[in-house]
């Protein structure tokens, strides 16, 4: 923040003196109306504190104008030049002093008041400068002089304010976009963690079964130790059972950590369904570009404002859409349609693509863990757990999933039906 303020200050000290040379003289004397004031006001809106900036700017402006006189006048007198340009210092110092006194930089949320205070500060600063230039106060406090200064100050202040507000609005939109991108990345990351936690929980049950089976086999072999080598193998089985039990404890600690991050009961874990589908579409558009596939995505959410569980919804829909992206060989289309039945007891997700489709003999196999028909450029198969995870998740939610090969020009359609109560936020 400090480095940014110094950079803005240096830019102001460079820009204001130069902009000040774009000028006109409304009273046919040394007093000038220039773009330097416009630039000065604009930079003051960015700086804190502004008083120091005003003093430094006033000094630089005076020195710059004296240097110009030295460069262009045939007969140069430093004292005369200093006397002519010194009142400009009081203009910038007064403007900055009033700007700080009014605490204008704390009022950016009230632009009308900023414009009025900026106008007042400029009028006062101009009158202070004129008082140093005019031989008498009567020449300054004339209605024609004050009114002309006031009109110019009013127009200039609100012009600067409008330009500054446009920049702020553009910056705010950029910040909002960056924040949305960061939030989406976090949501997708947590969604992946949620998916892994479900698989880890399943593994915990399997490890428990393996431990139990090993121990039962150990007891049986212990009882039948008369068999040659039975005692030896029994001890090995007990050792294996102990090692598997240690693996289980490690997995439990990992699962506990993931569960602490992901709470199904917390209201913040729910988002409008339309936003969730949009997140999936944007994520998969990036994935398609990464794979070099021009894919067109369409989405239609009948109830976009209904709040659904973030990580369950993202895990299911994102897995199926990613599967469609990977299945499409070169270019194609992916459709996401979400509907609810009339009684709002069921919610339905239909993800379709115009890829090569699924062979008849593979329809019953695609949900089996490890089954895949996709290989990378090096010939390595994919993990084959995406669809098996989706199938298991749907079953756990008391829903069902079907595959169809006919859907209005699409070759593959995944159709998921889930109870609303398992996905949608209650109340």
Q: What percent of the chain has pLDDT over 70?
A: 79
pLDDT tens digits along 109-137 = 888 888 889 889 988 998 888 888 776 76
Q: How far apart are CA 70 and CA 68, in angstroms?
A: 5
Q: Predicted confidence band at 264 (pLDDT cuts at 50, 70, 90)?
A: very low
Q: Predicted confidence band at 219 (pLDDT cuts at 50, 70, 90)?
A: confident
Higher pLDDT, 405 or 332: 332
Beta carbons of 255 and 197 less than 8 angstroms apart:
yes
Q: How far apart are CA 49 and CA 245, in angstroms?
A: 64
What pLDDT score was predicted for residue 377?
Answer: 54
Whole-model pTM: value is 0.53
- 50: part of which helix (H) or strand (E)? helix 50-72
pLDDT tens digits along 345-385 = 899 999 998 888 877 767 777 777 655 655 555 545 454 46
Cα distances from 350 to residues 203, 360, 374, 414, in angstroms, run: 29, 20, 22, 6
What pLDDT score was predicted for residue 50?
Answer: 74
Q: How far apart are CA 31 and CA 27, in angstroms?
A: 7
What pLDDT score was predicted for residue 267?
Answer: 44
Cβ-count burial 171-189 (b if 16+ within 10 Å, e if not): eeeeeeeeeeeeebeebbe
pLDDT tens digits along 130-174 = 888 776 766 667 777 788 888 888 888 888 888 778 777 787 788
Task: Check whether 215 has a pLDDT greater than 80.
Answer: no
What pLDDT score was predicted for residue 230?
Answer: 63
Cβ-count burial 151-162 (b if 16+ within 10 Å, e if not): ebbbebbbebbe
What pLDDT score was predicted for residue 298?
Answer: 92
The count of other CB atoms within 10 Å of the CB of residue 383 is 11
Task: Identify any residues that bridge with 351 across adjacent strands, giving them in sequence order.
Answer: 336, 414
What pLDDT score was predicted for residue 19?
Answer: 84
Task: Check whether 187 has a pLDDT greater than 80.
Answer: no
Beta carbons of 23 and 32 less than 8 angstroms apart:
yes
What pLDDT score was predicted for residue 265?
Answer: 44
Q: What is the dihedral of CA 406, 411, 412, 415, to 10 degrees?
A: -40
Order of strands, sheet of 346-353, starting from the edge strand that comes earlier in the sequence: 295-301, 332-340, 346-353, 412-419, 400-404
What pLDDT score was predicted for residue 94?
Answer: 92
Q: Look at residue 216 and give its three-state secondary structure.
A: helix
pLDDT tens digits along 63-113 = 999 999 898 888 888 999 998 889 889 999 999 999 888 888 888 888 888
What pLDDT score was predicted for residue 350?
Answer: 92
What pLDDT score was predicted for residue 381?
Answer: 44
Average pLDDT of every residue of the chain: 79
Q: Is 234 exposed, middle or buried (0-12, 13-18, 19+ CB in 10 A)?
A: buried
- 404: part of which helix (H) or strand (E)? strand 400-404
Question: Which ranges constitute the DSSP H helices of 102-229?
Answer: 111-133, 143-223
Closest CA to 30 of 104, 132, 159: 132
What's 375's DSSP letter?
B
Beta carbons of 42 and 164 less than 8 angstroms apart:
yes
């Amino acid at each position: 923040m400090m480095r940014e303020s110094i950079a803005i200050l240096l830019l102001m000290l460079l820009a204001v003196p130069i902009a000040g040379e774009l000028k006109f003289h409304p009273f046919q004397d040394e007093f000038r109306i220039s773009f330097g004031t416009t630039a000065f006001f604009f930079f003051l809106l960015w700086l804190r504190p502004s008083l120091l900036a005003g003093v430094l700017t006033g000094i630089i402006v005076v020195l710059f104008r004296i240097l110009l006189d030295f460069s262009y006048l045939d007969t140069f007198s430093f004292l005369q030049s200093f006397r002519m340009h010194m009142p400009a210092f009081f203009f910038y110092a007064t403007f900055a002093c009033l700007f700080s006194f009014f605490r204008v930089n704390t009022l950016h949320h009230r632009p009308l008041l900023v414009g009025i205070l900026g106008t007042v500060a400029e009028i006062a600063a101009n009158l202070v400068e004129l008082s140093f230039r005019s031989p008498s106060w009567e020449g300054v406090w004339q209605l024609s002089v004050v009114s002309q200064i006031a009109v110019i100050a009013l127009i200039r202040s609100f012009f600067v304010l409008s330009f500054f507000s446009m920049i702020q609005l553009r910056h705010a939109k950029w910040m909002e976009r960056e924040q949305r991108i960061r939030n989406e990345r976090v949501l997708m990351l947590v969604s992946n963690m949620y998916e892994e936690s479900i698989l880890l929980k399943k593994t915990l049950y399997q490890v428990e079964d393996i431990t139990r089976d090993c121990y039962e086999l150990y007891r049986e072999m212990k009882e039948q130790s008369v068999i040659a080598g039975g005692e030896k193998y029994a001890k090995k089985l007990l050792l294996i059972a102990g090692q598997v039990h240690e693996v289980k404890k490690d997995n439990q600690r990992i699962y506990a950590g993931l569960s602490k991050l992901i709470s199904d009961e917390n209201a913040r874990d729910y988002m409008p369904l339309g936003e969730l589908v949009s997140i999936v579409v944007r994520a998969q558009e990036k994935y398609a570009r990464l794979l070099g596939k021009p894919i067109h995505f369409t989405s239609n959410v009948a109830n976009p404002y209904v709040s659904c569980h973030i990580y369950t919804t993202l895990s299911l829909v994102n897995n199926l859409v990613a599967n469609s992206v990977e299945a499409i060989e070169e270019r194609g289309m992916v459709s996401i349609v979400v509907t609810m039945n009339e009684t709002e007891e069921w919610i339905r997700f239909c993800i379709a693509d115009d890829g090569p489709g699924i062979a008849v003999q593979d329809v019953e196999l695609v949900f089996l863990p490890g089954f895949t028909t996709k290989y990378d450029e090096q010939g390595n198969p994919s993990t084959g757990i995406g669809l098996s995870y989706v199938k298991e998740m749907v079953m756990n939610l008391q829903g069902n999933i079907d595959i169809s090969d006919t859907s209005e020009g699409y070759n593959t359609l995944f159709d998921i039906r889930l109870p609303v109560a398992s996905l949608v936020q209650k109340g």
